[in-house]
Homo-oligomer: A and B are copies of this chain.
């Protein structure tokens, strides 16, 4: 795998508008800064036209959505679509409650997402495949993961980024499987949310025609960063991992990504 967009993020320092949850907002902002992008975490409906207008990507995360935030998300998403900047969806725990299902259906109906980033449980729901979810965690199922990911990409005409022990990225035709990472990722909160935020930065500096490769590079870079941090830690040092991942996102080089990346195209 080639590392191309990482350098572009650090050169261009894109502004990424995040509408995200109260749990991961801080980590998303710190992670974007570490990587070389700039976060703006505005959530008020009154500024959902102004902020996309100065941003290079929008990331919508439904993690702790309440009240009228859905309206702010819809307005921001429509504005971003009009302006032609990429929009990413993180459908946190979509299958866990009727409310989340309804909210995500609304978002998917009114906004064209350049990318959707989630775990197997969330993607199985989006693809309409049987799955046993567990809250906002991935859960377990028998279905073929590559196929689920591809179906999400096809159904929503988007780049599907599915996180797990093996990450899968698909544009509906192509499927890439990414064999980096560490079991420490699901042991810290917001590791998926941060990946979604960071995918905003990769999409922001890519041409629309190359979003698939940007997504593969994004998910690989993130997984490799985590993998390298975990190597220097005991398997229970989740606190250190949380902090060290920020350090590594700032430090990781194109060379490290290229040397460590293990990507297969199915």
Contact = CB atoms under 8 A, between A and B. Distances in A.
Interface of A: 15, 21-27, 29-30, 33-34, 38-47, 50-51, 54-55, 63-68, 72, 93, 96-100, 134-137, 186-190, 234, 236-240, 242-247, 250-251
Given A38-B135, A243-B243, A33 B96 contact: no
25 contacts: A15-B134, A22-B22, A22-B26, A24-B26, A25-B64, A29-B189, A29-B190, A30-B239, A33-B238, A34-B238, A38-B137, A40-B96, A41-B63, A44-B65, A44-B99, A45-B66, A46-B99, A47-B100, A54-B96, A55-B135, A234-B247, A236-B251, A238-B247, A242-B243, A243-B243
Contacts of A97: 42, 46-47, 50-51
Contacts of A54: 96, 134-135
Nearest to A55: B135
A68 B247 CA distance: 37
A24 to B, nearest CB: 7
The 5 residue pairs across chains A and B that have the minimum distance between CB atoms: A239-B246, A29-B189, A50-B97, A236-B250, A239-B243
Q: How many copies of the chain does the oligomer comprise?
A: 3
A98 B136 CA distance: 35
Contacts of A29: 23, 189-190
Contacts of A250: 187, 236-238
A54 B132 CA distance: 11
A99 B50 contact: yes
A197 to B, nearest CB: 12
A22 B64 CA distance: 11
A64 B41 contact: yes
